[in-house]
A and B are shown apart, each in its own frame.
Chain A
Amino acid sequence: MKSKIVFAVLFFFVLINFSTSVSQEIQNPKSKIQIHNPWVRVAAQGANTALFFVIENTGEKPDTLISAESKIADIVEVHETYAKENDMMGMREVKFVAVPSKSKVEFKPRSLHVMLIDVVKDLRIGDKIHVVLTFKHAGKIKVKAVVQEMPIMGGMKH
């Protein structure tokens, strides 16, 4: 009986430690750059889709998003949607996104997004993907995003 209890307690601690290490792998809470509410839009294999999130720079220095990469798509680029006259909408690549100190930059529908071109598998609601965002100063930040059709509602999650 005792050994079972000891085993259960040990298993519990191992589980806690494992889950903590997984979350740390995704984002370093000490980083001055935090990524909130990442979500990616539903897409069929071979199609394109977009990843959205909020970048928060809690530091005293500005930083810059310079690239994004993921195994989920053949090509990953930072894009922005723009409006023209007569309800015309277009999209273009942006080479970098500045994130001023003590500020937030929102990647959202009809605006900035990470473009996932030619996704390698179907992305259905509830699926999760991994993306690495590279900042000039903060370096590489791993992001785990959930597949949604619409933005995640509610407050920001840290």
Chain B
Amino acid sequence: MISFYDKILQTISYFLVVKKSISGYRVFFNKLACSTMKKIIFITIGIFVFFACGEKFEVIEDFGKEKYKLINQNGAEVIFPDLTKGKTAIVGYIFTNCPDICPLTTNNMRLIQERLKKEKVEGVNFVSISFDPENDKPDVLKKFAEIRNLDLSNWTFLTGQKLVIDSVIKKAGVVAVPGDSTIYPDGRKIYYFVHTDRIQLVDDEGRVRKNYPGSKINVDEIVGDIKSLVD
């Protein structure tokens, strides 16, 4: 996959090569009076520059054609990514038994939300998807958000059937595998996931455009990225 910066470099290299070619073969061009060829070259360059500048973020993954049936924190059935279509979305992947990384990720999403609100940037949705649906029932997700005083006006927590959740996170490139566990005196077992630390920037067509390490993002960077995608 060619990144935006690679494309810029390619464009510059292309310009240099073409410029050298033009000066080197100017006589040849003149002799042949090949003005059509020149036009083709410059049109090609123009098209290349247009696409390189127009696509700031590569498309990492496309949720756009998918319709995952999930359940929000209120117990209502929703379709992901339809609920974010038409808006830019910040999507985080968490499990609520996580004491460290996932609360950090959630808090970072809150910081982004607050910053966007302060800067009056509209048209952004927030989605937190649990990869532990067996524990994270809607009421658990609701309490997780409520105790943190999160603003759920544009933020949805999602859970669902394990098979569906597994499909979502696989598509998102998120890995979550049960790791170490703690055993209660009565034999019950709590497992902790080894998981990808991730927040994703998803565009208004449901395409993943950038990944961030959720627990240690640079808020300035991600807010800047959101603005350039919203604009």
Residues of A at under 8 Å CB distance from B?
A: 41-44, 47-50, 74-75, 77, 79, 81, 84, 86-93, 109-110, 113, 115-118, 122-125, 149-150
CA A21 – CA B183 in complex, angstroms?
A: 38
CA A150 – CA B97 in complex, angstroms?
A: 18
The stretch that binds A, out of B35-43, B50-58, B143-151, is B143-151
CA A16 – CA B147 in complex, angstroms?
A: 35
CB-nearest residue of chain B relative to A51? B99
Could you tell me if A44 and B192 are in contact, using CB atoms closer than 8 angstroms?
no
Main DSSP-derived SS at the A contact region: strand
Interface hits, B77-125 → A, CB 8 Å: 96-101, 103-104, 107
Tell which of A50, A86, A110, A117 touches B196, judged by Cβ atoms closer than 8 Å: A86
CB-nearest residue of chain B relative to A119? B99
What residues on A are CB-neighbors of B103 within 8 Å? 41-42, 49, 149
What residues on A are CB-neighbors of B213 within 8 Å? 87
Contact A89 to B147, CB < 8 A, known contacts A75-B182, A75-B184: no
What residues on B are CB-neighbors of A86 within 8 Å? 175, 196
User: Chain B nearest CB: distance from A80 CB in Å?
Assistant: 9
Could you tell me if A91 and B100 are in contact, using CB atoms closer than 8 angstroms?
yes
Could you tell me how many residues of chain B have their Cβ less than 8 Å away from some Cβ of chain A?
33
User: Chain A nearest CB: distance from B5 CB in Å?
Assistant: 20
User: Chain A nearest CB: distance from B199 CB in Å?
Assistant: 10
Could you tell me if B215 and A110 are in contact, using CB atoms closer than 8 angstroms?
yes
CB-nearest residue of chain A relative to B175? A88
User: Chain B nearest CB: distance from A40 CB in Å?
Assistant: 10
User: Chain A nearest CB: distance from B91 CB in Å?
Assistant: 15
Could you tell me if B216 and A41 are in contact, using CB atoms closer than 8 angstroms?
no
Contact A47 to B215, CB < 8 A, known contacts A89-B197, A93-B180: no
CB-nearest residue of chain A relative to B179? A90
Could you tell me if B184 and A88 are in contact, using CB atoms closer than 8 angstroms?
no
What residues on A are CB-neighbors of B196 within 8 Å? 86-89
Q: Is B194 part of the binding interface, using a Cβ–Cβ cutoff of 8 Å?
A: yes
Q: Is B195 part of the binding interface, using a Cβ–Cβ cutoff of 8 Å?
A: yes
CA A81 – CA B101 in complex, angstroms?
A: 8
